Amino acid sequence: MDLKDKLLSSFLAFENNVDLDHPVHDVRSEAIKNFEAKGFPSKKEEAWKYTSLNNIQKVDFSIFPKQENTLEYKDIKQYFLHEIDTYKIVFIDGVYSSYLSETTHDGVDVCLMSAALTKPQYKQVIDVYFNKVASKDESLTTLNTAFSKEGAYIYIPKNKVPKKPIQILHLATGTEAALMLQPRNLVIVEENAEVQIIERHQSLTGNEVLTNSVTEIFAAKDANVDYYKVQNDVNTASLIDNTYISQKDKSIVRVHTFSFGGKLTRNNLNFYQNGEYMDSVLKGVTILGEKQHVDHHTLVHHAQPNCESHQDYKGIFGEKSTGVFNGKIIVDKIAQKTNAFQQNNNILISDKATINTKPQLEIFADDVKCSHGCTIGQLDEDALFYLQSRGIPKKEATALLMYAFANNVLESVRIPELKTRINKLIAKKLGVRVGFEL
């Protein structure tokens, strides 16, 4: 039985454990029909031209964990941003861990999708927001929708700001020989509210893990959202991360994606601007080695006038690693006075590493300021010579230049302790000594 057939048969078992009378059941049923019709994407599709899921489909993944596992905080402390106090939503093999989590209903809701999807007090919000911005057509998103049950539910009411940032941590223990996880996150930030969120997926062993994640984010008028994705997993873990964002007037949403680990990572990041005077910020750093593969697909759809978007992705690729960047900006005819910027810069430090980059603009308005560009090259030999002439060995000089190249993306990170952590992760990945380990 291949993975698609296994998932379709597992859906029948999944339905036995959910409320079939709940309105979400109809959403799930439609979603599984879509996945059944389309299956897994292939390289024949333009959007997946450089990323193959064939090897993943050959693995005999467990769809549901066979047992609940527990972990001690001291054993996983390194994966938390433990330098500051935060709310925490922790999942172990897809199952919520109350022992490791710290949730709240004190003026804001930081809790679980399983509660939001089943308890009456959340029904009105779920009816308005759940599966409303996520794609109804993209097969892996609909697969996640079909199995949507658990994940993070974050609701920030009008004029509210949580007392501290929120961490979402998905842990895989390796109890199963191979495990597939499908977390579903829903983030709603109402008018003039703010939130900071850090999300991480982490395997604790070398067993195969496939995570197919979907996050929906709704930013109302004057809302401010910072979302940070830390992807530094082991080389047997694969992640398909689908994020859909709907913005209203004068909102600001920033998403930073730091891709350092994992076997295969696909990031689908989609912004839909549904108002005026808003800003969308997409920034990323990718540093790969060995045979790692990271594919960034971004979309910013400017549907109203007087809005901005800024994309800045940087990649460093060594050994036999491969990278993909496909960024699309769409400016509708009505979206006059749009200011859209997109840049993708890459350094290849191995003649066996590859990067495929395709920035795209589709502009239907005539009074706009839009630019896009990409670079692929090697380190500046003059700068390298200069550092060596000052007594810095070539290996260290090379690492310092790469560090400087990647590090300026961190300027817009608004949590100082996270900026320090990522700064040191970059340094470690590049071999720059800063006296820090993770």
pLDDT in tens, 191-240: 999 999 999 999 999 999 999 999 999 999 999 999 999 999 999 999 99
Q: What token pair was written down for 76? A: 């996983």
Give the per-residue pLDDT at 433. Answer: 66
d(CA 181, CA 382): 47
Q: What token pair was written down for 260? A: 């350092």
Angle at 358 between CA 355 and CA 363, to 5 degrees: 165
d(CA 300, CA 332): 11
Its pTM stands at: 0.96
Per-residue pLDDT for 1 more than 50?
yes
Angle at 283 between CA 281 and CA 288, to 5 degrees: 165
Q: Are 195 and 187 a contacting pair, CB within 8 Å?
A: yes
Among 263, 213, 268, residue whose Cα is nearest residue 245: 268
d(CA 378, CA 374): 13
Sheet-wide strand order for 279-288: 95-96, 87-92, 166-172, 194-203, 224-231, 252-259, 279-288, 308-317, 339-348, 369-377
Per-residue pLDDT for 435 more than 70?
no
Work out the mean pLDDT of the chain and round it to a whole number.
Answer: 95
**Average pLDDT of 418-435?**
84
Give the per-residue pLDDT at 395. Answer: 84
Per-residue pLDDT for 434 more than 70?
no
**Average pLDDT of 327-344?**
98
- Alpha carbon separation from 80 to 95, 183, 203 (Å, rounded): 18, 18, 13
**Average pLDDT of 346-370?**
96
**Average pLDDT of 22-30?**
90
Confidence of residue 67 (pLDDT cuts 50, 70, 90): confident
Q: Is 357 exposed, middle or buried (0-12, 13-18, 19+ CB in 10 A)?
A: buried
Give the per-residue pLDDT at 379. Answer: 86
Chain-centre distance of CA 308, in angstroms? 21
What is the four-CA torsion angle of 311, 312, 318, 323, rounded to 10 degrees?
A: 10
Q: What token pair was written down for 108? A: 């804001």
Q: Is 69 exposed, middle or buried (0-12, 13-18, 19+ CB in 10 A)?
A: middle
Confidence of residue 437 (pLDDT cuts 50, 70, 90): very low
Among 280, 284, 386, 402, residue whose Cα is nearest residue 331: 280
